């Protein structure tokens, strides 16, 4: 990879240790993706916020880094482990809360916008088409590329952080060429968001870094986010196209058999002790939808609803949150289903959710069983 004189001197440590570390990461990912140069980005979205995922080593790294590091471009943040507004209601250990507070402060000190959301594409104004960004959250990277017409690779927590600190990224892979060599035909009739999530999970397993999906004429927001979440969980694919794809592309079907295999992999229980909605977090449109589905009905067990802080505030003004709380929902912001310590295997054996991404992490990281159901099925079975 060709570096400018200034980039070269930063890599040698002449602009301090932080820049040296950032450029070392950029050079490694540049080599890994055969980049020829670095290009500027306008927006970085960072993962690595939840103490559950980054642990003591991550907390200490960020604390040290924040002593002198400042982000150079607009930088937003993924969810953390819990919602500070309601954490006292949960039986969470003091150490977790303190470490999470430290991580939050480190990012704020570096000038990061404390958005704590995995759906930055729904709560911030999108830059113009074709803008280079660096999104670490996988569902957000896939959404940014496929729906918002931005350009990002499926960044890692450190590559996005290095881009935030330098304002640059290696020019490679999906930033240059995104032409898929694989077309997956969606053969499920009238698919709901669960089917789209499983399609995404399947696509992530079989596709390289981009894929065409045929047989889908339209998708609502919930299904689209479910597809992005599922795809980001299982593989390296960072972009999808809807259409027929190239004539010479490899073609495979996603039919009942493929869907059943994914379902059997992720569904491990026929019931849930609690319900979680979100992962990705719900946007205003989905909150509005949920509140109308819940008219006159109430949940018979705990139902945690995850949405960004700004969405909760808007929903409160409009009155949606009243309806959700009346129906028994706990509304939580700044955190999400994936890896929240609020779902504790010592207290809960199984969770009902419509999130494929959530299902993978609930099972593998939180260590609880998962009962997969679509949202309409959840409302039908779990409310009165």
Q: Going along the chain, which residue ranges are E strands?
A: 38-40, 43-46, 74-77, 134-135, 168-170, 182-186, 211-214, 240-242, 250-254, 274-277, 303-306, 329-332, 350-353, 369-372
Residue with Cβ nearer other proteins (18 or 321): 18
Q: What is the DSSP string of 135-204?
A: E-SHHHHHHHHHTS--B-----HHHHHHHHHHSEEE--GGGT----SEEEEE--SS--HHHHHHHHHHHH
Residue with Cβ nearer other proteins (78 or 321): 78
Residue with Cβ nearer other proteins (26 or 147): 26
What's the min distance (Å) between Cβ of 323 and other proteins? 33
What's the min distance (Å) between Cβ of 242 and other proteins? 23
What's the min distance (Å) between Cβ of 381 and other proteins? 28
What's the min distance (Å) between Cβ of 77 and other proteins? 12
Residues in the chain, total: 384
Residue with Cβ nearer other proteins (48 or 120): 48
Q: Going along 6-149, which residue ranges are E strands?
A: 38-40, 43-46, 74-77, 134-135
What's the min distance (Å) between Cβ of 183 and other proteins? 21
Separation between Cα atoms, residue 169 and residue 74, nearest integer Å: 14
What's the min distance (Å) between Cβ of 60 and other proteins? 8
Helices and strands per DSSP (H, E), number in the chain:
15, 14
Residue with Cβ nearer other proteins (175 or 299): 175
**Burial level of 280, CB count in 10 A (0-12/13-18/19+)?**
buried
Residue with Cβ nearer other proteins (324 or 336): 336
Residues 6+ apart with CB under 8 A from 375: 192, 193, 222, 277, 290, 293, 354
Q: Cβ(355)–Cβ(229) under 8 Å?
A: yes
C-alpha distances (whole Å) from 149 to each of 132, 163, 241, 300, 314 are 10, 19, 11, 41, 26
What's the min distance (Å) between Cβ of 169 and other proteins? 10
Provide the token pair at 331: 């509304």
Separation between Cα atoms, residue 231 and residue 288, nearest integer Å: 25
What's the min distance (Å) between Cβ of 41 and other proteins? 14
What's the min distance (Å) between Cβ of 374 and other proteins? 23
Residue with Cβ nearer other proteins (324 or 362): 362
Residue with Cβ nearer other proteins (185 or 263): 263
Residue with Cβ nearer other proteins (126 or 157): 157
Binding site for other proteins (CB under 8 A): 21, 24-25, 27-29, 31-33, 47-48, 50, 53-58, 60-61, 136-138, 153-160, 162, 204, 232-236, 265, 360-361, 364-365
């Amino acid at each position: 990879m060709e570096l400018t004189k200034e980039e070269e001197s930063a890599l040698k440590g002449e602009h301090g240790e932080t820049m040296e570390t950032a450029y070392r990461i950029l050079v490694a990912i540049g080599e890994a993706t055969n980049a020829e140069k670095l290009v500027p980005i306008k927006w970085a979205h960072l993962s690595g916020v939840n103490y559950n995922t980054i642990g003591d080593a991550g907390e200490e790294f960020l604390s040290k880094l924040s002593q002198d590091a400042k982000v150079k471009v607009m930088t937003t943040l993924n969810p953390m482990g819990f919602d500070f507004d309601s954490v006292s209601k949960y039986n969470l250990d003091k150490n977790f809360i303190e470490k999470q507070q430290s991580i939050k402060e480190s990012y704020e000190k570096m000038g990061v916008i404390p958005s704590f959301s995995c759906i930055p594409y729904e709560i911030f104004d999108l830059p113009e088409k074709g803008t280079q960004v660096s999104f670490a959250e996988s569902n957000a990277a896939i959404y940014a590329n496929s729906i918002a017409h931005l350009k990002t690779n499926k960044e890692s927590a450190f590559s996005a952080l290095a881009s935030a600190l330098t304002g640059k990224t290696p020019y490679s892979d999906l930033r240059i060429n995104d032409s898929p060599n694989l077309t997956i035909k969606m053969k499920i009739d009238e698919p709901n968001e669960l089917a789209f999530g499983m399609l995404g999970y399947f696509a992530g397993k079989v596709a390289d870094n981009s894929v065409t999906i045929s047989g889908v004429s339209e998708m609502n927001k919930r299904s689209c986010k479910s597809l992005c979440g599922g795809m980001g969980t299982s593989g390296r694919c960072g972009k999808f196209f809807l259409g027929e794809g190239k004539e010479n592309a490899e073609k495979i079907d996603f039919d009942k058999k493929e869907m059943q295999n994914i379902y059997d992999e992720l569904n491990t229980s026929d019931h849930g002790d609690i319900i979680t909605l979100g992962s990705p977090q719900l946007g205003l449109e989905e909150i509005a939808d949920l509140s109308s589905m819940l008219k006159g009905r109430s949940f018979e067990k705990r139902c945690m609803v995850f949405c960004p802080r700004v969405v909760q505030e808007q929903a409160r003004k409009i009155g949606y949150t009243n309806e959700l709380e009346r129906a028994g929902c706990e509304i939580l912001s700044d955190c999400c289903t994936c890896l929240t310590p609020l779902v504790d295997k010592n207290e809960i054996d199984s969770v009902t959710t419509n999130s494929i991404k959530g299902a993978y992490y609930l099972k593998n990281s939180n260590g609880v069983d998962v009962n997969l159901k679509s949202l309409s099925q959840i409302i039908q079975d779990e409310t009165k």
